[in-house]
Structure 1
Amino acid sequence: MEVPPVAKQPTAEKRQRRERGSINPDDIINGAFELAEDIGIDNLSMPLLGKHLGVGVTSIYWYFRKKDDLLNAMTDRALRQYVFATPYVEAADWRETLRNHARVMRKAFLGNPILCDLILIRSALSPRAAKLGVAAVEKAIESLAEAGLSPEDAFDTYSAVSLHVRGSVVLQRLYDKNQSTDCGPGYFEEAMVIDPETAPLLAKVSAEGHRIGASDEKNFEYGLDCILDHAARLIEESAAKPAQRRKTATPRRKAAADR
């Protein structure tokens, strides 16, 4: 009887063992990022990290009592690097700077799966990381309000952009994970069988490169344009209201003067 092969478990390359007391929290966090690059956040464990760093696992537990504490520390560092690398939204050129902000955000997460897993998929921020995130969002909303949006519309606009970016990135990340584990189609479109006889429009646009439910550049940019166009209309409507009020007030003042 043939025995089925057993899936290979994540392993860490063993380093030369360190001297006792020669490791610190920064060394541990650095090592955790190194190991996560090879085996992913899901497979990261304290014993594997100890082997990777060449220390006993108790040396790690001395600083981080459980894996969640270590992941929080990794998230703090990742979020600081992410925030500093993300361009500000400027009121004077709000549309292009917000577009650039969204593109850079998306590119940063797509280019760093560890960043995506820590901040977007894990979605557990320490108080320090959460405070840093609030400051960045406040700055963006402040700029949008200065550009002419009400505080509520500025909040909703930035929230929509953030949701659009995060949804696009997480969908792509899940797709990549499914592809690496042979779980089958990762996008809704890939599971569809499009018959030109019964779905001629779908067949036509699909042949032109359009994809349903895919987090590609075309879909991302289209959705981003829709959000920006809506915000621009809100700014135009807000700017038109004072002029409209002045128009309606003038005849009243004239009539009062005639009397």
Structure 2
Amino acid sequence: MAKQATAQKRPRRERGSINPEDIIKGAFELAEEVSIDNLSMPLLGKHLGVGVTSIYWYFRKKDDLLNAMTDRALRQIVFESPYVDAANWRESLHSHAHNMRKTFMTSPILCDLVLIRGALSAKALRLGLEQMEAAVAGLVEAGLSPEDAFDTYSAVSVHVRGSVVLARLYEKTRSLDGPDFSAGEAATIDSETMPLMAALSAKGHHIGVPNTMNFEYGLNCILDHAARLIDEGRPAKKASARRKTSATPR
């Protein structure tokens, strides 16, 4: 059964002893227990030991509180800023993608606030562009054109975020007491009519599942393409450098 949204009642605070910072902090604590979806003003009041009207004084509705929580999550986002070492661009970008995915996968609250709720906010866009500047610069130094560098990092970012959000939505919607996706898929596959699918499923390959195997394959496809673009651009850059050298007056 789904986890029931409850909050441990604390000793009653004195009137006027709560402030917005306390409310936001308490909301994060409660969301870790009951999820963002099940967070409510009455539950938060019990969690904080205040009347619900004390919360409404600062946040007129749950949406206002979630906006404040999203702003806090964006300011305190915990995954490392993207750094691409031009000399080891593939390894550093690969590591960054996995670190970013791990951070969101291990923090459903961060995923819900930043990737789902805050995905279209101006603040999230500004943060993303600021982080993207350094990553794109590293890829340009590694040998990609600015356009290809932008598209490469953008593809990695979309791949990470899409994988995490799909996994989060799957966890939200699937029945906790029912079979997981892989079990349902295995029951659907007929080994006689689908021998390839049966053999691959037994090895851990699953269709449309945002697992590590599928994530790694997609990520490597993006990085392989970037590597090809860098290799294709090197002869042209060397020829251009030779032309510049020969044209220099002696």
* TM-score bracket for this pair, using the shorter chain length: 0.7 to 0.9
For 1:223, which of 218, 225, 228 is the aligned residue?
Answer: 218
Change (3 A) 1:113 1:227: same
Three-state SS of the structure 2 residue aligned to 1:224 is helix
AA aligned opposite 1:158: Y
* Aligned partners of 2:186 and 2:198 also within 8 Å: no
The CA deviation at 1:191 is 7.4
Q: Which runs of no fewer than 5 residues in structure 2 stay unpaired?
A: none
Change (3 A) 1:148 1:115: same
Q: How many residues align?
A: 244
After superposition, the C-alpha distances for 1:186-218 in whole angstroms (9 at most, x for unaligned) are 469727621222112112222222222222221
| Residue of structure 2 in register with 1:121 after alignment | 116
Asked if residue 18 in structure 1 is aligned to residue 13 in structure 2, the reply is: yes
Moved more, 199-208 or 28-37: 199-208
Asked if residue 109 in structure 1 is aligned to residue 104 in structure 2, the reply is: yes
Moved more, 101-110 or 43-52: 43-52
Alignment partners' CA distance in 2, 1:45 and 1:65? 12
| Structure label with greater radius of gyration | 1
After superposition, the C-alpha distances for 1:25-49 in whole angstroms (9 at most, x for unaligned) are 2211110011111111111122221
| Residue of structure 2 in register with 1:133 after alignment | 128
Asked if residue 80 in structure 1 is aligned to residue 75 in structure 2, the reply is: yes
Alignment partners' CA distance in 1, 2:156 and 2:20? 35
TM-score by length of 1: 0.83
AA aligned opposite 2:108: P
Percentage of pairs with the same residue? 68
Asked if residue 68 in structure 1 is aligned to residue 88 in structure 2, the reply is: no
Alignment partners' CA distance in 2, 1:128 and 1:239? 38
AA aligned opposite 1:54: G
Moved more, 85-94 or 220-229: 85-94
The CA deviation at 1:148 is 1.6
* Aligned partners of 2:118 and 2:124 also within 8 Å: no
| Residue of structure 1 in register with 2:238 after alignment | 243
Asked if residue 33 in structure 1 is aligned to residue 28 in structure 2, the reply is: yes
Change (3 A) 1:68 1:59: same
Alignment partners' CA distance in 2, 1:188 and 1:162? 30
Alignment partners' CA distance in 1, 2:145 and 2:91? 19
| Residue of structure 2 in register with 1:256 after alignment | none
Asked if residue 55 in structure 1 is aligned to residue 50 in structure 2, the reply is: yes
The CA deviation at 1:239 is 1.6
RMSD: 2.8
Three-state SS of the structure 2 residue aligned to 1:12 is coil
The CA deviation at 1:13 is 1.7
For 1:212, which of 201, 207, 213 is the aligned residue?
Answer: 207
Moved more, 54-63 or 20-29: 54-63
